[in-house]
Structure 1
Amino acid sequence: MDNIYLLIFYSVLAVFILVTFFLVLYIKNQNMLWQQKKLFQETEIQQQKELLNAVIESQEIERKRIGQDLHDEIGGTLSAIKLMLNAAKNQDGASNGNIIEAKKLIDKMMVDVRNLSHDLSPPGLAMFGLYTSIDAFVDLINNTEEIEILITHEPLIEERLLNEKSELALFRVITQLISNTLKHANATKIKISFKPKEQRLEIDYADNGKGFDLSVLNTKKGIGMQNIQSRLQMANATYVIDTKPNGGFKMSIICPIEKNQAN
């Protein structure tokens, strides 16, 4: 009788060990599959990021080329036409209404071409850096007297903290935010602050506009917001948005300062 109990005990023990073995093997196999899936997802995300960076970088190269062509070729041609009209006016010895109107139109075209070329390829960014370029852009907006933009740099330093690609990405983000405010927010004031820290650059953007429901942004992103997120990703920057209906809009951006980024 004792032998039967021992046999049953050892049989149950053997079954338990066998089940435990297969259970551990199953868990190990599932963990391996999960690790492989995670690695595949990370690789896919990295490839998508590299592809996105390549697309945006090629767009910026093309923007720069088009901007230079607009400024050099079309701008130069318009200047030549203006000189020819001036010469015709002097030869006639009297003001010709058509010539005056043509000169005004050409002057407007030259301004439009200059503004467009500057928008495609921000002047001074490579030479003077992000803060100076944004400050110059803000001056242009303030001169329209449509809105007041206050910009601060704490502390005010001349050191270039980021590489040109990151600065260009942040320049596009800030100008896009300003454009969004002008188009949609009905705001009267914008505040932008730059705060260099030891290992990061903090940029705070805020307007006193009508704001919006943040949950809508989380479920449906417009092209402008998608561009902002893509460019921040290019600069390895993170961001936090704070907004609500009739509560204005705020975005805090943190861009890491790496040793190989400093100029």
Structure 2
Amino acid sequence: MRELPPEIKLTYIIAIIIMLLFVCFIIMMVFIYNKKQLIQQQENQIKESEFQNQLLQKELERQKAIQVERERISQDMHDDLGAGISAIKLQAEFLKYKMPQESFSEDLEAIINSSEDMNLAMREILWSLNSQNDTVGNFIEYTTLYIKRFLSKTSIDSHFNSNVPEKETNLTVKARRNLFLAVKEAVHNIYKHSQANEVFIEFEQNKDSFCITIIDNGIGLSETTQKGNGMSNMSLRMESINGTFKIIPAQKGLRLLFVYPLQD
């Protein structure tokens, strides 16, 4: 085979070198491009993370501001309204003993009872506003205390059972208040319509829901109770917090079931 002239060899060598340099250049450009893309992606992730942190910080600040405002309103109500209601009650009691006439006594007794009702209503509002009560445990404690106090003035005996985890589960203000008002309505209906002498209240929490069962040994669901606003009010309150309310007839008495879905 004839050997190539030196000029052609040199040309081939130069061509090969140029091709190798071009390939190296392409590889380097691809590497630089990928590096820039990676850096840009990391910068975007950092910016997104910073943005999310800012949003989270703003949300935490907003929640803290709401909590501070709730506590301020609670304190103002306690200081101003509470003192005013107590003063009205004391003045009415003083006048009742000072003016024993029957007509005045009845009016003053009505004022005293109204003052007590207002005071209880205010305490309920204060309880619902206090962020320290936003747990299942505190809800059970307050609701149990309320039912015991209310039924202590009646001939109905109350029995309680609680089956909830030791670890506290949070409840929103809206859920806590509507659950309490629904249970309160149920207990008042039992007192007014059931003719029961015993009521059983059970609190139970599982992974997905918080359940309240109320059972009485009364006459069951009468036509008056069935058509009354109490049952529809309880249903509406549970619907407002995405919960459910069920009426379960029994051979004797009535079983009411309130189920609130717990959020993760």
TM-score for the superposition, normalised by structure 2: 0.56
- CA distance 1:97–1:207, shift in 2 (3 Å): closer
How many equivalent pairs are there?
178
Q: Give the 3 Å change call, closer, same or farther, for CA 202–71 of structure 1 in structure 2.
A: same
Aligned to 1:73: 84
Number of the residue aligned with 1:201: 210
2:220, 2:252 within 8 Å by CA — same for their partners in 1?
yes
Shift of 1:119: 3.1
Mapped contact 2:209–2:262 kept (Cα < 8 A): yes
Q: Considering only CA atoms, is the larger Rg found in Structure 1 or Structure 2?
A: 2
Q: Note closer, same or farther for the CA distance 1:254–1:70 as it changes in structure 2 (3 Å cut).
A: same
Closer/same/farther in 2, CA of residues 197 and 75 from structure 1, 3 Å limit: same
Measured against aligned partners, the alpha-carbon deviations of 1:61-110 in whole angstroms (never above 9, x if no partner) come to xxx9xx8776343433443x379x59xxxxxxxxx963578899868744
User: Aligned partners of 2:210, 2:258: CA distance in 1, in Å?
Assistant: 8
Q: Does residue 1:114 correspond to 2:116, yes or no? A: yes
Q: What pairs up with 1:217-236 in 2 under 5 angstroms?
A: 221-236=227-242
After superposition, what is the alpha-carbon deviation per residue over 1:178-221, rounded to whole angstroms, capped at 9, x for unaligned? 111111110011111111111210111111110137xx69xx64
Distance 1:168 1:234 in 2: 11
The residue that corresponds to 1:248 in the other structure is: 253
| Unmatched 5+ stretches in structure 1 | 1-63, 87-95
Q: Tell me, which stretches of 5 or more residues in structure 2 are unaligned? A: 1-73
Distance 1:201 1:152 in 2: 14
Q: Is the 8 A contact 2:147 2:187 kept in 1?
A: no
Aligned to 2:98: 98
Distance 1:104 1:251 in 2: 38
Greater RCO (Cα-Cα under 8 Å, separation 6 or more): 1
Pair 1:210 & 2:219 matched: yes
Q: What is the TM-score when the length of structure 1 is the normalising length?
A: 0.56
Cα distance in 2 between the residues matched to 1:163 and 1:187 = 33
Q: Percent identity?
A: 17
1:82–1:103 CA contact under 8 A, matched in 2: no
**Which amino acid in structure 1 is aligned with residue 237 of structure 2?**
R
